[in-house]
Each structure stands twice: as structure tokens, then as C-alpha cells.
Structure 1
């Protein structure tokens, strides 16, 4: 019942994140957010973990970007800035025989359908999209050829995706938790196994390697009450005591935990939520609309954001399983207060650095480059989950809030946030360096 209610709320509010007026509104059949939301719904259904979700968003956008670049000489070809992309993007359908923007949206849905575990759930969305095109009196032959173009491009993207080592993850050794000391150990209430311990082996898009931006070492583990580590733990413990409502709101707004579980007696109830990457993809859509970007430029912003998310997770996960840091919940329960429970549920992977800090700062840096500093917007991505909206004066402000939300939620020490912020900014700098060299510039001039 709860699952059905949440699914209904997500569908009901799926356009909420894009409610702001635009300078040049696109026709309803060229609204990218509808395809992104449909794909997010399937990922929520499948409980796709955060790194994997970022990977799916990345490939879902690549085909749309390729089709746009084929038909608009102002859109820089993917191979000009993604070193590993060697695919021949030419398709058999002649230009002018299909609508590349329609093909781009259909390609997003088709790529998600073929890649996601429950991708078959996107078939009704494709059927609705075709019905929408017909309702807008799009010629049947144009629809047919656009679908053919989308299908061809999807095959190219799928082929490229198979070279990123994802299919090899299942053959690698599973993570074995180490009890005691400084090491991460599964946390209540589900004690889930570690998520994606080998994610550093995934092929990055724009950064040179997973370990290109290794952050400084966190505070040394210690149980000495005078140590820096103990002080940080006690700070997490203290901030959870009678927190002001604003801190609670911030923690809830940026929770984005696909694994959230609540208990009642012997019963466990799962609450499915959008991933952190899904939240930032939604933000990219919100601001593209507010900026009044054309379809083609909106595709560019969403694609660069998806690429950034993929690389940010690869960089972050490389360090998570190197330092293998203990979570505040485990430390505080053992050395400070056995009854303490964090406000947010602790995610099932090591503590350092904060994933929210890395990916939010990477996203904020790239979106600032593409759309400018001090870009004010309203983010209502979390309305389906009973939180928000929230107003931000800039992407940097949003990233800072997303980062500190993990401290307010009791799931990260301060240095995981501070140095995660720095790591995220370095990822952003690298992405910007690569796209700037390819002459991808500000999109809302």
C-alpha cells in the first residue's frame, strides 16, 4: 500500500520540479523532464543504488546528445571531449526525414528500457509519448523515422556502455566487513552489505582516473576523548540533540536515500526515494527551463550534468573503500551512547568522504560554468516525498546546504564534508577544463 501511494505521489508531482515560467516554453512533446522523470520512477522501483543511478542517467543522455549534435553544428560532438567515445554516430535515416528532437526523447526512453533492470516499465511511457505526438499532429512518417533513428542511436550507446567494466563487477570479490577499530561496518536497521565496493573500476567519462583526486587523510581514528576524531564524533552526537526545525528540514530535503527503511515492532517498511544524482538531474532540468534554454541547449546541460555525476561517484567511491571509514552511528553507539540513533538512516557504505559533498560540489561547479553564478531558482524536487520546495540564490549555496545536511542528519563527520567539498570542486574543475577545451561555453547567453 505504502509503495503504491509513493508511486502515485511521484507521478502526481513529477512535473512539480519544473513549474517555473520560461522565456521560450517548448511544446509539451519536447519537454525533457517527462522522460527523465519516467526513468527516475523505474530506478526508484528497482531501488537502484546512487552510483549505478548516475551511470544510467549518463548513458540515457548520451544518445539524446548524439542525435542533437548530428543535426546541430553548434553542438560539440561527444568524441571531441570524451576521450573513450569512439563510436560512429552516423545513422541510416537521412536528415530531414526524421525529427531529431523527438528522436532524442524517444532515445532516452529506449536506452532506459534496454539498460534498467525493470526497463520494460518504460513501454507505457513510450506509447504515451507516441500518442502525444499524434495529438500534436506530428506526421506519422516523421514519427516512424524518428523512432527508427532513436533505436539506431540507442544501439550505439548500449555498445559503448558495455566497455565501462560494469558487467565485470559481479565477478569481483564481495566486500567483507572488518569488525572493530576504524573500519566501516554495516549499520541498523537492515545491516545491508556494502554498496558497490569495486565502483572505482568503472570507466570514467572526463576525469583521467578514479584516483585522480584523492583527498587528504581524515582525522586518525581514536577513542581518546581528547582526540580530534572523538571531538568530531561528539559534535555529531551533540547536533542531534533538540535540533532547530531548519536543520531538520535541510536534512530531510537532501536525504535522497533509496534504501530508507523504517521499523515497527518486527515489521520493516521500505520507503523508496530518488537518488542524490536524480535530485541534481532534476535541478538541471529546473534551471534549464528557468533560463529559457532551447531544446538543444537543455540537452547539453542535462548531458554534461549526467557525465559529471558519473565521474563524481567514481572519484568518491574510490576513496570510500580506500579509507573504509567507520560511520558516526557505529562509533557513537560503541564509545559514547549505545542508545543514540542518527536522524537520517545511515547509508550502507563507508563514511569518508561524503558522497553528497562530492557530487553536489561537482554539480554546482559545472552548472555555474554552464549557466552563470548567482543563478537563483526554486527546487521542488522533493515534493513527492513531503519536503520543500526550497529557494537558492546559487548552485554553490545549494551544494553547501546539501553537504552540511549529512552532518545534521548524523551520518557524516565534519571532515568527510569539508574534504568531500574540495574533492567535488576538483572534479568540477576537470570537467570544465575538458568541455571548455572543446568550446562548450555558457548556455544562457
Structure 2
């Protein structure tokens, strides 16, 4: 626990006392990480987390674009974001405003957004130590508050606030359909997520994958073979496979049980993991703050749309999880290595979103971009070295088979779905003149 707190303290106050000549870009990763920590605290589900990241970055992206003509404004190609006219001040430090806007937007839209007020204070203290005047900071904060307020108002129109008014999800009767899984037997998460307004894609069903292998209890059927593979792989996992599965677990709903007691274990979301990889990569690429913010925003928007597309398919096919099939028809005592997430199986969310984001990152930062991922260090897992974003995405996808929570076709077809989304995003970026940043 002490180690965990020290890491948070370091990231929140990254930079310490510095000279006024230091660049502001060193504050970008800590700002995004602060948003991540609040979402971990709130146990924000994966689709919702991608939405929060997107809006937190869009205000900062718009501020940068209005002040740097080399940066294409998000409002010029993202129809979901309304044009923003900044009226608070002129001649302000736009980079400072953009950084503060990330935290301010999170403060306004996250359930426990008030927790970011402490991070805002720490950022201001750091800026003062670096030689910035109180007047400069106050001007930047005013702009950030104005833009964040407008972004939050825009976010309120995307359908998210209506989700709680929709009918609660009830499992469909039938052998082939998803049913809540142990140990929590939680109800389906975000069954109406397809109604959320996307950022870059045209609609939730623009990238419908091919149908899953048809359910069958026949031991010679293709479906039964898929389930048998999950069962057999789970029984003979190597240490490396176990580690890979645990590394990419990213399950905010994990529950530890002891007798009659259940204790929730908070983890980062899949989108949070990829946002942290984005921060690592932009820092390693030595990008300036403007480009770093743009890359973060585009990755977040890709994440958001990939989740919308994936969740549209999940609740259309409504497919049963391997754990349920194996317990019913093969081995009632079998358990997957990872806890099964509370929503239908097809397609694999990790496969869709990781592949989509890896395509966007590959376009912006290049293929064969090596990086060291330290995302899971706070959960007592070591750093990992990857040769490319696609390699990381491939591992994230297959980890779900090792974890015992997805069939192979959900993984492979999810990768096809994610790749199509990523390529669509790239073509849109090219059309708008957004080129690779390195």
C-alpha cells in the first residue's frame, strides 16, 4: 500500500521544483493518470471509462487547435463536438489552459470528480514553482473552466444521461444466451451502450462482425470444439500464459471471496491501460504538448467508438460465456483463470478496442515503435517491453483465451472488427490532413 501511495504522489506532483524554462508537457501524463485514478476509485465500467477519457481530452484538444494552426481542430471532423468559442480571455497561456482543462472536465463529468480538485491545486503549485505568475495561471484556469463547462454540456447530449431511464436488462431465456456468472452474478453492464452518440464512426452498427459460431451441445459441433479449447487451454496453462492473462485482465469488477464475504478489487479499465500506453509512447517519442494532447484525444475517441461498436454486437448476439457452457456440459467445478466480466461474450472487447487503438497509434507514431509498459506496476505486476503497438494488441487479444473468458472466434473476429474501425479512423484523419506526428 505504501508503494502504491508513493507512485500516486510521484505522478501527481511529477516534475517537482523546476525552472521557468521547462516545458509544460511533463504535466500531461500525470493529468491523464489523475483522471484514471478517479475512475478506478469509482469502478467505472470499460465503455463509460472510454467516454470519460474522450471528453476530458476533447476540451484540451480544442484549446490547442485554436491556438496552433498546425493542429487540426476536432470540431472540424468530429460532428459530436460542437464548435467552442472561447470568450474568457485573450493572450492566455493556451498550453497551461489545456492541461488544466483535462482535470476540470473530469471534475465536472466524473461521479467523484471532486477528487480532482486536489490535483488541480498541485498543478497550480507546480506551475508557480516553475516560475509562472499567478496572473498567467488565473487566466489559463478561467479559459479551462469555460471550455470544460461547454464540453460537459455537450457530453450531456450524447445519450449517456438517458441510460438510467431505460429498461433494466433481463437475461434472455435459452441455452445459447448469456447468463450472469460467478462469483458476483452481476447483471449485464451497459446493455444500451449502442445508443451513445459516437465520435468518429457513423453509427453503432457500421462495423458489424460476421455472426458467431452457432451454439450447439453436440460434442462434434464447431461450437463445442470452441468451448473445449477454452476448457483444455485453461487446464494446461504455462506460467507465461498465466502471466499474460493476468497482465491484461483490466477487470474493474473483480471480486475476491472468502467464505460468505465478498471484497471488490479495483483495477484499471482496458481503455485506461491503453491511455497509459499512449502517455508512455508520446513521452518516449518526445512529442511536444500540443501533439501529445492530440494523440491522446484521438486514441480516446477511437476507444470510445470501438466500445460502442463492440457493445452493439455483444447485446445483439447475446452469446453465452465459456464458463457457463463448461460448467453446464463439461465440468461443473471448472473455473476460468480470470473472473468472467458481466456482459455477453461476442465479440471480445479487448480484441476490438486494442486492435482499433493499435492501428491509430501505429499510424500516428509508426510501426515497430518499441516501448516499456509500466501500467500494471501499481497492481504489483512488472513492466513489459513491446516491439510495437500491434504486438501489444495481439497479446491483449489472445490473453482472453488464456484467461478462460472468450472463445477463439470472438477474439479473432473481434480483431477484424477492431482493425476495420481503426482503418476507418485513419482514413478520416488522412482526409482531414492529420499526418503521423513522428
Q: Same fold (TM over 0.5)?
A: yes
CA-CA distance at 1:10 after TM superposition: 5.7
CA–CA separation in structure 2 for the residues paired with 1:241 and 1:80: 52
Aligned length: 433
2:358 aligns with 364
**Cα distance per residue 1:323-351 (max 9 Å; x no partner):** 00000000000000000000000000000
Q: Which residue of 2 aligns with 1:341?
A: 335
Aligned residue number for residue 76 of structure 1: 72
| 8 Å CA contact retained: 2:24, 2:96 | no
Partner Cα separation in structure 2 for residue 185 and residue 197 of structure 1: 13
Aligned to 1:410: 404
Q: TM-score, normalised by structure 2?
A: 0.96
Structure 1 residue 8 corresponds to structure 2 residue 2: no
Q: Given the alignment, which residue of 36, 42, 63 partners 2:38?
A: 42
TM-score by length of structure 1 reads 0.94
Give the distance between the partners of 1:266 and 1:180, measured in 2 at CA: 30
Q: How does 1:131-170 map onto structure 2 within 5 Å?
A: 131-170=125-164
State whether residues 9 and 384 of structure 1, in contact with CA within 8 Å, keep that contact through their aligned partners in structure 2: no
Structure 2, unaligned runs of 5 or more: 16-20
1:14 is displaced (CA, Å) by 4.6
The 1-side partners of 2:89 and 2:255 are apart by 48
Partner SS state of residue 177, structure 1: coil
Write the distance in 1 (CA, Å) between the matches of 2:228 and 2:3. Answer: 36
User: For residues 9 and 242 of structure 1, do their structure 2 counterparts lie closer, same or farther at Cα, with a shift above 3 Å needed?
Assistant: farther
Q: 1:429 to 1:89 in 2, by over 3 A?
A: farther
Superposed counterparts of 1:22-421, under 5 Å:
27=23, 30-94=26-90, 96=91, 98-421=92-415
Q: Distance in 2 between matches of 1:373 and 1:419?
A: 22
3-state SS in 2 of match to 1:159: helix
**Contact in 1 for aligned 2:86/2:146 (Cα 8 Å):** no
Question: Judging changes above 3 Å, is the alpha-carbon distance between structure 1 residues 180 and 8 closer, same or farther for their aligned structure 2 residues?
Answer: farther
Partner of 1:22: none
Structure-1 residue corresponding to 2:18: none
C-alpha distance in structure 2 between counterparts of 1:29 and 1:362, whole Å:
26
Q: Which whole-Å CA distance do the structure 2 matches of 1:26 and 1:333 have between them?
A: 58
- Cα distance between partner residues in 2 of 1:300 and 1:119: 23
Paired residue secondary structure (1:194): coil
Q: Secondary structure at the match of 2:186?
A: coil
Does the 8 A contact of 1:326 with 1:350 survive in 2?
Answer: yes
Change (3 A) 1:430 1:262: same
What is the SS of the residue equivalent to 1:240?
A: helix
Whole-angstrom distance in 2 between the partners of 1:326 and 1:26:
54
1:301–1:338 CA distance, 2 compared to 1 (3 A) = same
Shift of residue 7, structure 1, vs aligned partner: 5.9
Tell which deviates more after alignment, 314-323 or 235-244.
Answer: 235-244
* Alpha-carbon distance in 1 for matches of 2:43, 2:9: 20
Shift of 1:435: 1.3
Q: After superposition, what is the alpha-carbon deviation per residue over 1:43-94, rounded to whole angstroms, capped at 9, x for unaligned?
A: 0110000000000000000010011011101011112211233323333310
Residue 156 of structure 1 deviates from its aligned partner by 1.5
Higher RCO, 1 vs 2 (CA within 8 Å, ≥6 residues apart): 1
User: Helix, strand or coil: the match of 1:304?
Assistant: helix
Stretches of structure 1 lacking an aligned partner (at least 5 in a row): 20-24
Query: How far apart, CA to CA, are the structure 1 residues paired with 2:87 and 2:273?
Result: 33
Contact 1:213 1:426 in 2 (8 A): yes
Could you tell me how far 1:6 is from its partner in structure 2?
8.8
The residue matched to 1:391 in structure 2 has which SS?
strand
